[in-house]
Chain A
Amino acid sequence: MKKNSMWSLKLNTASLVLIPAAVGINYIGKLFAGALKLPLWLDSIGTILAACLAGPIVGALCGAINNIIYGFTLDPVSFIYALSQVGIGIVAGVLAYKGKMKGLVGSIITGLIIACVATVVSTPINIAMYGGQTGNIWGDALFTWCTANQFPTWLASGLDELVVDIPDKVAVTLIAFGIYKALPKKLTILYKNDQAIESLD
């Protein structure tokens, strides 16, 4: 049986229906984090889960659609941040496909890599939109300290984003990994496109 490439874009109905569910999971994660007053965003569980289930392309689509929906309903600024969600989806999909997300350590490393990618994509946006801040108290406190100590803006802003992203993305990846492990096989098999379909007629 030939294994299909992870980039093969076979948007079957199952993967398409996964996207709104993933966006919903992102939204619920954010809602629960808010309701329990947790100091993290936890708003990319769905994106990472979808990327693990159906590969980088669906993951990227989930990330993009997630922010487009936010943009059209709650906060227009999130349109631009769709780029960083796309980055998260692609990286999570690639790493999951390569089998890096096995076990606790693998998930933590994956989370760290995702955090770095998210930072690299978000920092230029933060600088262009808000002069480098993120809106998170801890990150912005660090930003203030860096700016007051004559750090260049890109470094101050990057650290601002990174310090929030690392705990957030590691936590999100661990949660997504835990859920992924617990999913029944008959569900995960729907999204794998490495099976050959045999026609009987």
Chain B
Amino acid sequence: MKSISLYQDKNTVIHRIDPLSKILYILVAIIVPFLLASQIASAAFILVSIIILLMGKSLKRTVPMLGFSGLILITVVIIQGIFRPDNVTPALVLGSVVFYKEGLLFALGISLNVINILMSFSILVLTTKPSDMVETFVRMGLSPKLGYVLSSVFQIIPQMTETMATITDAQRSRGMETEGNLTTRVKAFFPLISPVVMNSLITTKERAIALEVRGFDSKQKKTFLTEVKKTRSEKVIKIVLAAVLILSLIGRVLIWLR
């Protein structure tokens, strides 16, 4: 069964780090450049993220994550570079098209920001097993019921994609057209999606019964299958991250006072 997550099982230092530290890193990487209002800080965090991803042997897998936003960013550069209202200084002339400095700088800021967020998240997403991530949240105080909901999504979606393939084949073998002009494709959408949706809604009833039989609604305190090992390096990582955050807060205050 194909997983929807981009996570890949590998045995590296980064994979073994507690998900909580990775979440803290994301917060720091997003908050610090925002506090300092500095593009250099964003760039620095992007660099750090790339190094961490290299250590986790997962840098290549960021490509599909960057793909979608990358496309938008390219159009941002083009549109803002040419059309931004406060454009004055021409920076680059390609034939009859003029790119302006103000628009390009604005687009650069946006791109750095988005890439920074993407890179810091991809450390968490690419090197943490989804079920471990959910477990961390439950340990932090998320209700175990919602924890179940989150982790069951990871199981249900591959199942539904399989049903979807089966139904597409079944409808095609009955002669349904799935290619052609727009009306044909719109018409094909309904006979494809409704059986999958009906099927999945009907199985929810069975799932609910199966869960209740197993004491899902029980008020007993839930226990965990695995135990977390607290190592010293984990503590060091968290302290360093907290220190960076506090330093940047002090930096912000200093900028204000000046």
Contacts and interface: CB of A to CB of B under 8 A. Distances in A.
Nearest to B148: A16
Most chain-A CB neighbours within 10 Å: which of B84, B113, B200, B211? B200
B154 to A, nearest CB: 8
Interface string B121-145: 1101100001001000000000001
A65 B121 contact: no
A183 B212 contact: no
B204 A143 contact: no
B190 interface: yes
Contacts of B188: 36
Interface residues of A, number: 56
A18 B161 CA distance: 17
B156 A23 contact: yes
A143 B65 contact: no
Interface stretch (A25-33, A82-90, A94-102, A113-121): A25-33
Contacts of A155: none
B85 A38 contact: no
Contact of B200 (A11, A25, A33, A71): A25
B79 interface: yes
A23 B157 contact: yes
Contacts, number: 173
Contacts of B55: none
Interface string A1-39: 000000000010110111111011101110111011111
A28 B204 contact: no
A179 interface: yes
Contacts of A37: 185
B186 A38 contact: yes
B125 A179 contact: no
B72 A130 contact: yes
A13 B212 contact: yes
A93 to B, nearest CB: 17
Contacts of A21: 156, 200-201, 203-204
Interface stretch (B91-99, B191-199, B227-235, B245-253): B191-199
Contacts of B194: 178-179, 182
Contacts of B182: 38-39
A124 interface: no
B208 A13 contact: yes
Given A36-B188, A71-B121, A74-B65, A187 B110 contact: no
Contacts of B207: 17
29 contacts: A11-B145, A17-B149, A17-B208, A19-B153, A24-B153, A27-B157, A28-B160, A29-B193, A32-B192, A35-B168, A36-B185, A36-B186, A38-B185, A69-B154, A72-B5, A76-B121, A129-B110, A130-B73, A130-B114, A131-B80, A144-B83, A147-B79, A147-B83, A147-B85, A178-B190, A178-B194, A179-B194, A182-B198, A183-B198
